[in-house]
Amino acid sequence: MYTKLKAGIKLYLHYIAISLRCSMQYKVSFILMVTGRFLVSFNGILGVYFMMSRFGHVQGYTFGEVLLCFSAIQMDFALAECIGGGFAMFSGIVRQGEFDRILLRPHSAVLQVLGSKFRIDRIGLILQAVVMFVYGIAISSIVWTTGRVITVVLMLVGGTALFIGFFWLRAAFTFFTMEGVEAFNILTYGAKEHGKYPVDIYGKKMLQVCTYIIPYTLIQYYPLQYLLGRTERWYYGLYPFGIAGTMLVCYGAWKFGMRHYQSAGS
């Protein structure tokens, strides 16, 4: 088991190295692209800033607190696109017959798909989210403890895993449709946009939907309450572990799709 895991990590790092070398073939183009994404992504932040400067707060949340929420979900999504780009673009892999070649290789199909489309161009979005996250922490009145530091780490790791899971679930349906199912954008881009603000501002029913059906409150709303000192329930900071259940569902859907996959040719 350990040997397989080690070999898998080594292979994935090799895929990343190949992507980096390809991107660095045109250094100026790569730098301009990253810089452009970094700057353009501030449009969303400006929208939040102007709204907060007009109203002062949103249902009790200050600008710094909203900025923490906003930047965390943006960072999760950008990291998921970077790491899980293969699943996000899986319909193209199937249509072009590349998945047939993947199945002929002795390594894990999941690992190969993950490494096939490492989106290094998303670095600009990640950097922008990091800058805003640090600024949000600086202007928020957070009393830092070991538990809250761990909560931040779990929010970022769990959020990245959740969005990769959503991409993975969409990829599983591609085995049957041969095309990307646009309805799944509700889970990915929809959750990214909807998650810019703490979910409770949308009402109790939406909070329940986003807890039990589309469970991104596990990496956003609940740990954020503990992080901001709005609750003494320290276990809210551990809610991102609940994403493991979602990942198991995505894995099951993927295995089911693979069993029913028929070659698309090329």
- 35 within 8 A of 124, measured Cβ to Cβ: yes
Q: What is the pLDDT of residue 213?
A: 86
What is the C-alpha separation between 144 and 236, in angstroms, rounded? Answer: 15
Per-residue pLDDT of the chain (266 residues; tens, 9 = 90+): 666 667 667 777 777 777 777 777 777 877 887 787 777 777 777 777 777 777 777 778 888 888 888 888 989 998 998 888 888 888 888 888 788 888 887 778 888 888 777 777 788 888 888 888 888 888 888 888 899 999 999 999 999 999 999 999 988 888 887 665 667 777 777 778 878 888 888 888 888 888 888 888 999 999 999 998 888 889 999 999 999 999 999 999 999 988 888 776 55
> Which residue is listed with tokens 């830092």?
144
- 170 within 8 A of 180, measured Cβ to Cβ: yes
Q: What is the pLDDT of residue 1?
A: 60
SS3 for 238-251, per residue? HHHHHHHHHHHHHH
Q: What is the pLDDT of residue 157?
A: 94
For the CA atoms of 194, 196, 198, 200, the dihedral, rounded to the nearest 10 degrees, stands at: -20
> Domain map of the chain by residue range?
2-259
- The 3-state DSSP class for residue 172 equals helix
Q: What is the pLDDT of residue 13?
A: 78
Q: What is the pLDDT of residue 5?
A: 64
Q: What is the pLDDT of residue 223?
A: 93
Strand partners, 61: 58
Confidence (pTM)? 0.88
Q: What is the pLDDT of residue 162?
A: 93
- 105 within 8 A of 91, measured Cβ to Cβ: no
- The 3-state DSSP class for residue 107 equals coil
Q: What is the pLDDT of residue 253?
A: 92
- 112 within 8 A of 148, measured Cβ to Cβ: no
